[in-house]
Structure formats: C-alpha cells, structure tokens
Amino acid sequence: MQVITTDAWVLHAGPADMAVDNPVPGELSREKYTFPDVTGNEALVEPLFGSWEANMGHALERTPVDVCRQRGEDRMVIGNFGVVRVVRTGRDVTRVKEGDLCLMQAFARTDELGYVKLVHAYDAPGTVGVLALQTKIREHLLTPLRPDTRFTTQQWAASYGRYWTAWDNWKVAYGCYRSQVPVRPQDMEHQPLVFGWGGGVTIAELELARRDGFAVAMASASPKRLADIEAKGMIPVDRRLFPDLNYDEERMDDPGYRQRYRESERAFLRAIAQISGGRGAAIIIDNIGKPVYRATLRALGRQGVLTTVGWKHGMRLETMRANECIKRHIHVHTHACRYHDIEEIMEFQESTGWMLDLQGQRIYDFDEIPQLARDYTEGNLDSYFPLFQVNES
C-alpha cells in the first residue's frame, strides 16, 4: 500500500491511566506524519488557510475525552475547517479537480437528516486535519468556492465554520421563539432583546438576530472587542462591570465569594433590565455554560429562549424545572449545521454580504501554530475568528 508522508503538527494520546476528571493537557509536536494514499472517492489536498476552532482546544485539553484514545489511535492531526487546494484526485472523484479551491467540511458521518454525528479530524477515526502540509478527504466533504465569490479565501477560512453553525442555531432558536410569540419583532411596540455570551458563533448569530428585527447586545471584557461590537450596531456590555460572575455552587458557603458573586449577578441583571426596558431578554445565546448559567436564566424574560451550540466551561448544568415551566422558557441545543443546508447558507452569504471583516487581523504562520493554541487558551486573541496559514495561496 502506498503512503503519503507530510509535515504536520501532531497530537499524541494522553497517559493510559489518565483520570477523566483530571486530564493531562496535550501539546502539538512538529513531526512527519504518514497516511494511506488516496483511494477512489478521496482527494489529496493542500490546506491554505485554516480556522482555530473550539473543538481543537477541547482536543488539546482532553476534555471531555481524549480523542486519540477514543479513535483508538496513538496520534492524530486536528483541524477541520479551512480552504484547501486540490492536488490530486482518486479515480472515482467527479465533484472536484486538480487546482480547485474548496472549503473542507467536517461531516465525517451524519444521520439520515444530514446532521453531523462524527467530526472529521476530531472524533472520526482515520481522518487527518488541516494542521498538515497535505491531507486527504472524501470528495463529498469538499465544497468548491465560486470563481466569482465576493469574499476572499481568508474570509471564508476564518468564518464559515462559525457562521454556518450560527445560521443553523439561529434558525432553530428563532423558530422556537415565534412558536410562542407570533408577532414579528419589528411589529412589536417594544423591540425585544437578544443577548449573547461567547465568541465568533455568537456574534455571527447576533448579526442574524439584528436582521430579523431584534435589539442585540453582547458582553466582552476587551476594549477592542467592545468597540467592534458597537461598530456592528450592537449594544456593547462591559464584562468588567460584573467581574465575579462565575458561579460555583461548592463555593457559595464562603461568605466572601458569595457576596462578590451576588454583587456581580445583580450588576449583570441591572444591565439586562436597562437595555431590555425591564422585560428581560427574549433570547439569550449562551456558548459559555456553567459560570453564567444561573444569571442567564434569571435575565431571560417570559416566553424566552435560551439557546446554545457550545460548552466552553462546564458541561453539566442544573435547572429548576418548575421555574422554567412557569416562565415558559424554551432551551435549544444544536451542534454544527445540516450538511444539506450548505449551499443555501453560502448563497445567503453571497446575496446579503453576511460575512466577517478581517480588518487586517493577524494571520498566524504554520510555525506559530503552538503560539496560536496558547493565545486561544489564555484568551489573548483580539479576534473572534483566529486564522492561520499552512501553505502559500
């Protein structure tokens, strides 16, 4: 069997005796990586630009699982969103040809409706991500870019994973909201509020909410990000006004912690009351999780929707079901988007201009990938859409 050897940033499996609740974080190692040559329906590709995604951070942190061991492999190459150039195709490939620029999809395995079950270059065994000078992928997971696209390859690479996830989550959340509130936001006497916790997915989703007639607001502690939020016509909410909004039930017996937390929670609820006219948020996008969950539910108005597509901190949450029933809150959980909706989303982006502006942001070189991983983990990124380059375009 012929093989392909390439240069890659490799993640090795963690210790065999590692406790699930006490994972040993992994590191990327620059190594030669070998994989089988392309077969009938596969294409060999060169990644050009890639996006650092949350699942890459999860893989390095080994939370909630050690994905190498879950795949039954000693090492793997992560990275599942980026623009790639087709180098060579298998004999049965018909959708792409040598030289095509394509978006690489992560739908390694889907259910019968097209929703992802296993993710390419994450939990799908045998798949190789974009943190390599060359990789291979099945042809149906390559979406050719239109020759007349209005956007750059860098814009597509940095955004599409987050924007497409946002599109899907907003479609479900807004549908749930309208199931209880039949009046369109733009026809209401008081403009309802959508508030967001999170990063790139959240800000893309808030852009859709604004298009649908909602007032939109987002929290950040970064002055640059607050300025960017305001420049998009959104209400910036300074996270530094409630610095101790980090709920931990086990620490509530500590009087000092309890007082600091409650003061921050009250400050947050005052902020939401002020920008919502005392009605609470109609929809809250929470891609953070446990630290803000209690306050988020208290900030959500009647017939409100709490929607999430991520779990950055804390995967297990406790809910007072009686309160949620009485207030008629709907909780929405989605993951990625539907494979069959890709063309519709891309056409929407081309026709409306729904796309990020890179504004001269830093693009990490291939040699700087470990630094990008550290900057992402430590929150040292100014952009919600971290971008890296692998090969020359």
Give pLDDT tens digits for 28-45. Answer: 999 999 999 999 999 999
CATH topology of domain 3-152+358-389: Quinone Oxidoreductase; Chain A, domain 1 (3.90.180)
pLDDT of residue 321: 93
Q: What is the mean pLDDT of residues 166-185?
A: 97
User: Which band of pLDDT confidence, cut at 50, 70 and 90, is reported for residue 316?
Assistant: confident
- According to the model, what pLDDT value does residue 270 have? 98
Hey, how many other C-beta atoms are within 10 angstroms of the C-beta on 225?
20
If pLDDT is split at 50, 70 and 90, which confidence band does 131 have?
A: very high
Q: Does the pLDDT at position 242 exceed 90?
A: yes
pLDDT for 168 equals 98
Q: What pLDDT sits at residue 20?
A: 75
Question: pLDDT value at position 310?
Answer: 78
3-state secondary structure the chain: CCEEEEEEEEEECCCCCCCCCCCCCCCEEEEEEEEECCCCCEEEEEEEEEECCHHHHHHHHCCCCCHHHHHCCCEECCCCCEEEEEEEECCCCCCCCCCCEEEECCEEEECCCCEEEEECCCCCCCCCCCCECCEEEEHHHEEECCCCCCCCHHHHHHHHHHHHHHHHHHHHHHHHHHHHCCCCHHHCCCCCEEEEECCHHHHHHHHHHHHCCCEEEEEECCHHHHHHHHHCCCEEEEHHHCCCCCCCHHHCCCHHHHHHHHHHHHHHHHHHHHHHCCCCEEEEEECCEHHHHHHHHHHEEEEEEEEECCCCECCCCCCCHHHHHHCCCEEEECCCCEHHHHHHHHHHHHHHCCCCCCCCCCEECHHHHHHHHHHHHCCCCCCCCCEEECCCC
Q: What is the pLDDT of residue 21?
A: 76
CATH class in words for 161-333:
alpha beta
Q: Tell me which of 313 and 103 has the higher pLDDT.
A: 103
pLDDT at 351: 97
CA distance 120 to 124: 5
pLDDT value of position 312: 74
Report pLDDT for 359: 84
pLDDT score for 379? 87
- Percent pLDDT > 90 in the chain is 92
Q: What percent of the chain has pLDDT over 70?
A: 100
Residue found under tokens 């490939």:
93
pLDDT in tens, 204-230: 999 999 999 999 999 999 999 999 999
pLDDT higher at 315 or 388: 388
Closest-CA residue to 172 (of 54, 367, 332): 332
* Mean pLDDT computed over 144-167: 97
* C-alpha pair distances (Å), 176 with each of 145, 172, 235, 330, 333: 33, 6, 24, 7, 12
Q: With 90 as the cut, is the pLDDT of residue 315 above it?
A: no
Query: Six-digit token pair at 98?
Result: 């040598």
Instruction: Name the segment(s) of the chain with CATH classification 3.90.180.10.
Output: 3-152+358-389, 161-333
Confidence tier at 17 by pLDDT (50, 70, 90) = confident
The pLDDT mean for the chain works out to 95
Q: Please tell me the predicted confidence (pLDDT) of residue 313.
A: 77
pLDDT at 302 over 80: yes
Q: Residue 22: what pLDDT? A: 85
Average pLDDT of the residues in 46-66 = 94
Q: What is the mean pLDDT of residues 371-382?
A: 92
Confidence check: pLDDT of 148 > 80? yes
What pLDDT does 348 receive? 97
Question: Band of the pLDDT at 304, cuts 50, 70, 90?
Answer: very high
Q: Is the pLDDT of residue 241 over 90?
A: yes
Average pLDDT, integer, range 63-82: 95
Question: What's the rounded mean pLDDT across residues 357-369?
Answer: 94
Mean pLDDT, range 314-325, rounded to an integer: 89
